A and B are shown apart, each in its own frame.
Chain A
Amino acid sequence: MTKAAKPLDNPIPSSSQLAEGHLLGIEGLNPLEIGYLLDKAEGYVDHNRQVDKKLDILKGRTQINLFYENSTRTRASFELAGKRMGADVINMAVEGSSIKKGETLIDTAMTLNAMQPDILVVRHDQSGAVNLLAQKVDGAVINGGDGSHEHPTQALLDALTIRRRKGTLSGLTVAICGDIAHSRVARSNIHLLNIMGAQVRLIGPPTLVPKSFERMGLEVHHDMRKGLKDVDIVMMLRLQMERMQGSYVPSTNEYFHFWGLDYEKLSAAKPDAMIMHPGPMNRGVEIATDVADDIDRSAIREQVEMGVAVRMACLEVLCAQRQAS
């Protein structure tokens, strides 16, 4: 069961970053491109449920996962995606590498570039670092999350999860709750949902959802019950430990009391509202365990499954794009 790398049906305008062979963020993509990636990914969902998952679409291609930040699911997801597509995948973790010895980002990029990788998946703790690296290498760069900037494949997998459950993105009301200010997941999702015609509401304490987001044309709520009123989708974000103890939020106790998702607050949303979380979850901090584990409402495990399919699609589309140009 193999599929050939077909040339694209060319929905990609030449000004797009996808046309340049990178996926650095959702911002700047158009609805056609996003729809195209989701359609591609859709095709891999069933494929991934088969016993034999190996394809040869990216046979002979080299994929390097360069992770400057710890990651379990994203790195595993990209690694599996690459391997299932037939690419040779290696993981570079910062721990124990020359980066720890003081090598700069650009030097590392140039070194890896000399090994002729076709795809670099990069995660970095600094916003903009992945864009910088993309300017210095010849292969395709996929942003695996940069600082508080973007995490495009997460937004795509979230969109695929929503689309499969709700049929469409357009016209839905989506609440994104928690540490919006520091979240790359939130930013990518805000862009994607805006582009695809969904209404976005942001919910969280004023220290984590500053008023400046209102200037992006988004509804900001500090009262979760009001913010969740009649929403179709509830996206919870992880609250980083270092933000909990009195700097942005006084305590996990207070955070859960006002912004933790439990059935009481969830009752304000539509009866069939779907719950999402990019993981890893802090149970009892941003989400109650019974809500997180509610198989009728929670799509959290489905999101992980969609992640592999979405990343396979991204790898395929970028490689095809590069081959075509």
Chain B
Amino acid sequence: MSSLPNSGLKAFVNARLMDPASDLDVAGGLIVKDGKISDVAPGLFADGAPKGAEVIDCEGHLLAPGLIDARAYLGEPGQEQKETMATASQAAAAGGITTIAAMASTDPCIDEVALVQYITRRARDTAIVNVVPTACVTRGRRGEEITEMGMLAEAGAVAFSDGHRAIGSPQVMRRALAYATGWDLLVIQHPEEPSMAASGAMNAGEMSTRLGIPGVPSIAEVMMVERDLRLVEMTGGRYHAACISTKASIDAIRQAKDKGLPVTCSAAAHHFALNELAVGEYRTFTKVSPPLRSEEDRLAVVAGLADGAIDCIVSDHSPHDQEAKRLPFAQAADGAIGLQTVLPLALELHHTKQVPLMRLLDALTRAPAKMLGLSSGRLAAGAPADLVLINLDMPWRITESMFLSRSKNSAFEDRPAQGRAIRTIVAGETVFDLSET
């Protein structure tokens, strides 16, 4: 964060407080001191704010813990032409996100202690929201030798992931999960059987057949998830399947949770907001990994979010420049930006009554905080004053011109939306205010 926490009191009054961690949904107020929440209560300040406090009138809007995005690629180091921590954090702030877990698949990738420290330093110096580093599971993301996970965690890595590259060898995954138990570290898998997915560019199905694009079969995902679940059962390692996209793999995770395995998973917003038909006439901005799936799979993602089988919603923010995307479909890079669209897309599920609002916020605050071991993600005295003020009903349209990311490869351009972040607060300081844009 660029600004120091303000030592003065700040009173958020007239808010609809909503906090999944304490199952709170009530009219009330919140007071911030020294960058931390010092009190939160229903009816707080009904008789007026304390003297000397800066008063922020929430006008009845929803005040929630700032969103936590467990999976975003921030460009630094190595691809600053696509994204920087400065630009990504501005986009995050505008999207209501107060903490980003930076993916380790940079160039060089984050597989050494010095690089974890670099991420932390760059974030401190240039980002306006919190950026927490993740580190690679294997050296060079080669899937062969595990990294110095213990020392990387000591240096601040909150989780371990090889980014959009699956850990293909079961023996390496077994060792990584077992080794991670020494510190209860989280291993994040890109759930895709690599040899099955190698040549594919979109979901294998009728659409890919018609377009003549090689497909990634949906079973490539469940094969990897089921394999990993066996290894979790064997090793006791804490496991997260990122960006899960198929009905079969969601069912597998659901069963594993019923068995009590230490397993979580996440869904990227595009996997519940779009299906494979969005590829249309070879729109490379819809080329993501795992690919957009069938409508049946999309509905399964929605259902998984509703019943909690899917713990978190992530942006899977993957900025790419024109050079990487203005190519024949199969040659184009995977990924879409998402920091500014994750909240409005999640709110769609609330407005269409498919997923309760509390559960959606849970998937964006409490669940990722718990998974990553963060003290934020809740409205509680002592927690960091990372907050988002959400106007649930504001109608607007997602347009290219509003994107603050250095890359503009959104799959949601021109999509109408309802509800957005109107103010974002990090450690008590406002880092985004819609009324000032």
Show the binding face of A for B, using Cβ within 8 Å.
205-207, 210-211, 222-223, 245-251, 253-254, 257-258
Is B150 touching A246 in the complex (CB atoms < 8 A)? no
Question: Do A245 and B179 form a contact, CB below 8 Å, given A254-B151, A258-B150?
Answer: no
Q: Give the contact stretch, choosing among B139-147, B257-265, B275-283, B334-342.
A: B139-147
Is B181 touching A250 in the complex (CB atoms < 8 A)? no
Question: Do A257 and B151 form a contact, CB below 8 Å, given A206-B182, A211-B236?
Answer: yes
Query: In the complex the two chains form, what is the Cα distance from A56 to B97 in whole Å?
Result: 84
Which chain A residues border B144 with CB–CB below 8 Å? 246
Which chain A residues border B146 with CB–CB below 8 Å? 246-247, 250
Beyond A222-B182, A257-B151, A258-B150, 6 extra complex contacts between A and B, CB < 8 Å: A207-B179, A211-B236, A223-B182, A250-B145, A250-B146, A257-B150
Which residue of A206, A245, A257 has the most chain B CB atoms within 10 A of its CB atom? A206
Is A205 touching B179 in the complex (CB atoms < 8 A)? yes
Cβ of B25 < 8 Å from any Cβ of A? no
Which residue of A222, A248, A254 has the most chain B CB atoms within 10 A of its CB atom? A254
Query: In the complex the two chains form, what is the Cα distance from A223 to B150 in whole Å?
Result: 11
Write the chain B residue with the least CB distance to A222.
Answer: B182
Which chain B residues border A251 with CB–CB below 8 Å? 148
Interface size class of B (residues with CB under 8 A): 10 to 19
- Tell me if A's interface is mostly helix, strand, loop or mixed: loop
Q: Smallest distance from the beta carbon of A98 to chain B beta carbons, Å? A: 36
Which chain B residues border A246 with CB–CB below 8 Å? 138-139, 144-146
Which chain A residues border B147 with CB–CB below 8 Å? 250
Query: In the complex the two chains form, what is the Cα distance from A187 to B144 in whole Å?
Result: 29
Is A222 touching B181 in the complex (CB atoms < 8 A)? yes
* B 143-180 binary contact with A (CB < 8 Å = 1; else 0): 01111111100000000000000000000000100111
Which residue of A206, A210, A222, A250 has the most chain B CB atoms within 10 A of its CB atom? A250
Is B150 touching A210 in the complex (CB atoms < 8 A)? no
Enumerate the 3 nearest inter-chain pairs by beta-carbon distance, A residue then B residue, closest first. A246-B145, A254-B148, A222-B182
Query: In the complex the two chains form, what is the Cα distance from A273 to B183 in whole Å?
Result: 27
Query: In the complex the two chains form, what is the Cα distance from A258 to B183 in whole Å?
Result: 11
Write the chain B residue with the least CB distance to A204.
Answer: B182
Query: In the complex the two chains form, what is the Cα distance from A223 to B148 in whole Å?
Result: 15
Question: Do A254 and B175 form a contact, CB below 8 Å, given A205-B182, A222-B181, A246-B145?
Answer: no
Query: In the complex the two chains form, what is the Cα distance from A248 to B147 in whole Å?
Result: 11
Which chain A residues border B236 with CB–CB below 8 Å? 211
Picked from A207, A211, A223, the residue with its CB within 8 Å of the CB of B175 is A207
Q: What are 7 A-B contacts defined by CB distance under 8 Å?
A: A206-B178, A222-B181, A247-B145, A251-B148, A253-B148, A257-B150, A258-B150
Is A250 touching B148 in the complex (CB atoms < 8 A)? yes
Query: In the complex the two chains form, what is the Cα distance from A251 to B146 in whole Å?
Result: 9
Which chain B residues border A253 with CB–CB below 8 Å? 148, 151
Write the chain B residue with the least CB distance to A223.
Answer: B182
* B 229-254 binary contact with A (CB < 8 Å = 1; else 0): 00000011000000000000000000
